[in-house]
Structure 1
Amino acid sequence: MTQYSAKKQDLLRIIDSAIHAVSPEIAMQNTLKRTGDILTVEGTEYDLTSYERIIVVGAGKASASMAKKLEELLGDLLHGGIVATKYGHGLELKKTWVMEAGHPVPDMAGQRASKDILGIAKGLTENDLVFCLLSGGASAIVPAPREPVTLQDKQATTRALLECGATINEINAIRKNLSLFKGGHLAKALEPATVITLIISDVIGDYLDVIGSGPTAPDESTFLDCQAILDKYALCSGIPEAVTTIIAAGCAGEAPETCKAGDKCFERVQNVIIAGNAMALTGAAKTAQELGYTPILVDAAIQGEARDVAKKLVEKAIATCGEHSEDTRICLLYGGETTVTIKGNGKGGRNQELALAAGIKLLGAECRERIALACVGTDGTDGPTDAAGGLIFPDTVTERGERAAREHLANNDAYHFLSNVGTILKTGPTRTNVMDIAIVLVGPNEPKMTASSLQHHAHDAIR
């Protein structure tokens, strides 16, 4: 385990606070205010007794937790409904049917969930109120491919987009235009009911049409945008023919676009963002300050290749060392979401790769003893792994271990390197999702711990 136990404990406390700040329960409680039969949502009042039925639908990694809070708030007024979430993120609820499905690659369980949710929509009237609960992961969790695209076509397309390093905005633009659920189509299906969509944002800029691929929001993407994305990554020959065919038809005006602003299906829809990355960073900053650090928000919109971002994080940390005395305690905060272009066959995720690349970059820094960092996916799942991210300390990548570190990074195998040195970060499902955070601590050197001290603190090791 690392000898830098004080910085490790500080990082873990800051991470816990960041994730707690965006818990679905807190976000729902802060957004929904009920006084008797009147529910107020961001200034809009709803008389709950004026509706024949109150239904809940939703999708995403936080949807089950959001539905649980909604059940507590509405009690017997809630008639029931369906939410879909990622495997391992479900909860047993009293009135809401929770379905689990695949993420990030969609599967048949997700297709069934989207079909069932759309089935609920068919029987709604203008006297019904629908709560739509959306969070990160919804795009993959509820696939509803439009003909001639099949689920297998969407799976292959999703894998290709993930492997080439496409951004979440680009991936969702493709998903929306291949779907009967996304891009405003759910809003159209729910007509003429009143719809309150509560959203936990996992995208930079909190764009309504990108979060969960915008099932109840006007869509700004077009088939021309989709074609440009395929051209950008040279994917036209690497994805199923049905996908390229429908995109080509859309570009030629021979296939209908997604629902756009001004469509009457949005007239009775209120979209509300109840949590996002900024709230997580605020929570992190508060705890960092309590621990004696001066929090500095460096960048709330990091994006790009994880290895390139890692370089910037370390360069900023080194510069901070030079600007402040050795006894100063600084916490540099970052939010956003990086990407990884997969070239190897190892195991990892964008946060683990960012962490390992930062550890390698930190190796040559004169002030490395003063720096520690964490890169974390707030949903508790980094890429196709059971880890949330990774921690880096001055002794995580050593001169002796540099070659192995570089070999693991080249093979996109950060998971196994970080596991071997004991700095993989595992939180389990957090049931929320507001992208990623990176925390860089710059502080005084810690005294080296003796072998007996290390043994005493072994129970704190991240397994």
Structure 2
Amino acid sequence: MVYPTGPFDRRVLEQGPDRWLRAQALEVMAAALKAADPAEAVRRHVRREGDLFHVEGEVYDLRRYRRIFVVGAGKGSAPMAEALEEILGERLSGGVLNVKDGYMRPLRRIRVHEARHPVPDERGLAGTREMLALLQDAGPDDLVIAVISGGGSALLVAPAQGVTLADLQCLTDLLLRSGATIGEMNAVRKHLSQVKGGQLARAAAPAMLVALILSDVVGSPLDVIASGPTAPDESTFAEAWAVLERYGLVDQAPPAVVAHLQRGLRGDVPETPKPGDPVLARVTNVIVGSNRLAALAALARAAELGMHTLLLSTFVEGEAREVGRVLAGVAREVAQHDQPLPRPACIVAGGETTVTVRGSGLGGRNQEVA
């Protein structure tokens, strides 16, 4: 929420105060979007100096690695990989990515597959299989760089044994319509997958693995972003089962899903890698961008424009319609009483709201909040 401030072009004001206010708000939003740009996020955290590859304070001597591969998935993963191609140049051996339809970006050394999101499809499955085949060939003298961003959970598709893609599609649709949080959804999906919940890292072992992660999750917990393919998994089969019970999905879920989760509850299926698991010993996870970073950039631009600023929270969750009412209430308080900030004011809130879909709607949390 942004309340107007100067300096401004009087010609804009003559066209109406709403247009002036909109221009200010768009500048603030542009700053937030720039901070979250996937390619720039990688460039801020990664650089190469000759044979030395710097990642967030860690230095990797490229002479020690026979091959360097890039794998990953997500809506922002193609520009992230493109930045790595520029940085690594001829040292990059190849790679495989899955991206959402419409997010294709042709790369020189990395194969990019488009796939469906948020409900997975056969193309995502094929791309993930190609990714796993590449990782199975990687050895201890190889370096694997994973680029993970929002949407990666639906785009990394490798159903657990006995579970089909159709089963996952059905379950994903049920979860999306149930009102379950992203953390709850991912707890279930991790326990029905061969790549989520640290299992992509398991597939890459014993290669050195560096994961560059663009977070779209409140608080940026590594095990939740894209269902944590390279991170130790804190969730369990018991928690996954509890989600189905909580939202009344046990009787609606495909029988193969129910059967697999029950096998996990009995201990007949191995758990996902937990903290301290040896397969994660050569894994480094780096958050290169997040909701909080974008929010802070928005506040900085608002301050440059002469506004009083406040970061309300980057942990906003709940039903989108209810969050919208709260934000509207805060805006009215500023407008009428100059609280919690005097005008001109810019109050920024971030997080991830939930839309419980009713009828034939498709959802859309931002529109619901508005």
**Which TM-score band applies after superposition, normalised by the shorter structure?**
over 0.9
Q: What does 1:333-344 align with in structure 2 at a 5 Å threshold?
A: 333-344=348-359
CA distance in 2 between counterparts of 1:168 and 1:136 reads 11
Structure 1 gaps of 5+ residues are 356-463
Taking only aligned residues, the RMSD between alpha carbons, in angstroms, comes to 1.6
1:142 aligns with one of 127, 148, 156:
156
Q: Structure 1 length normalisation: TM-score?
A: 0.74
C-alpha distance in structure 2 between counterparts of 1:17 and 1:102, whole Å: 29
2:311 aligned with 1:294? no
Deviation at 1:316, TM superposition (A): 1.3
| DSSP-derived class of the 1:143 partner | coil
In 2: Cα distance, 1:212 partner to 1:298 partner? 26
Structure 1 35/150 Cα, relative in aligned 2: closer, same or farther at 3 Å? same
For structure 1, which segment, 163-172 or 13-22, has the greater mean C-alpha deviation from structure 2 after superposition? Answer: 13-22
Q: Deviations over 1:134-191 (max 9, x none)?
A: 1110100121101211101101101111101111001111110000011111111111
- State how far apart, in whole Å, the 1-side matches of 2:39 and 2:195 are: 26
Displacement of 1:323 in angstroms is 3.1
Q: What secondary structure is seen at the aligned counterpart in 2 of 1:195?
A: strand
Is 1:254 the counterpart of 2:268? The answer is yes
- Structure-2 residue corresponding to 1:103: 117
Q: Give a deviation string over 1:212-246, Cα, whole Å, max 9, x none.
A: 11111110110100111111111111111111111
1:11-410 mapped onto 2 (5 Å cutoff): 11-324=25-338, 328-355=343-370
- Amino acid in the other structure paired with 1:272: V
AA of the residue aligned to 1:175: R
Paired amino acid for 2:364: G
Residue 180 of structure 2 aligns to a residue whose secondary structure is coil
Q: 1: CA distance between counterparts of 2:32 and 2:68? A: 33
Whole-angstrom CA distance in 2 between matches of 1:17 and 1:334: 15
Q: Distance in 2 between matches of 1:2 and 1:49?
A: 62
Question: How far apart are residue 209 of structure 1 and its match?
Answer: 0.8
3-state secondary structure, aligned to 1:205: coil
AA partner of residue 174 (structure 1) = V
Q: Please give the secondary structure, in 2, of the residue aligned with 1:337.
A: strand
Q: Distance in 1 between matches of 2:332 and 2:52?
A: 54
Please list the CA deviations of residues 255-305 of structure 1 after superposition, one character each: whole Å capped at 9, or x if unmatched: 211111111111111111111011110111122222232121111111010
* 1:348 to partner: Cα distance: 4.4
2:4 is aligned to none
**Is the CA contact (8 Å cut-off) linking 2:209 and 2:282 kept in structure 1?**
yes
Any idea what SS the aligned residue of 2:97 has? strand
**For the residues of structure 2 that align with 1:327 and 1:118, how far apart are their CA atoms?**
55
* Counterparts of 2:16 and 2:229, CA distance in 1: 45
Instruction: With the length of structure 2 as denominator, give the TM-score of the two structures.
Output: 0.93
- Which runs of 5 or more structure 2 residues have no equivalent in the other structure? 1-14
Could you tell me how far 1:2 is from its partner in structure 2?
9.0
2-structure distance, mates of 1:218, 1:147: 21
> For 2:179, what is the secondary structure of its paired residue?
coil
3-state secondary structure, aligned to 1:303: strand
In structure 1, distance between residues paired with 2:82 and 2:313? 33
- Partner of 1:304, secondary structure, is strand
- Name the aligned partner's letter for residue 40 of structure 2: I
Once residues 153 and 361 of structure 2 are traced to their aligned partners in structure 1, the CA distance between those partners, rounded to angstroms, is 25
User: C-alpha deviations, 1:63-119, integer Å up to 9, x for none?
Assistant: 100110000001101111111111111111111111111111101100001100000
Whether the 8 Å contact between 2:149 and 2:214 is mirrored in structure 1 is yes
Letter in 2 for 1:114: T
Once residues 141 and 357 of structure 2 are traced to their aligned partners in structure 1, the CA distance between those partners, rounded to angstroms, is: 50
Instruction: Flag as ranges the 4+ runs of structure 1 deviating above 3 A.
Output: none
For the residues of structure 2 that align with 1:348 and 1:248, how far apart are their CA atoms?
31
1:5 Cα shift? 1.0
Give the AA of the match of 2:141.
N
Q: Deviations over 1:345-395 (max 9, x none)?
A: 23540110110xxxxxxxxxxxxxxxxxxxxxxxxxxxxxxxxxxxxxxxx
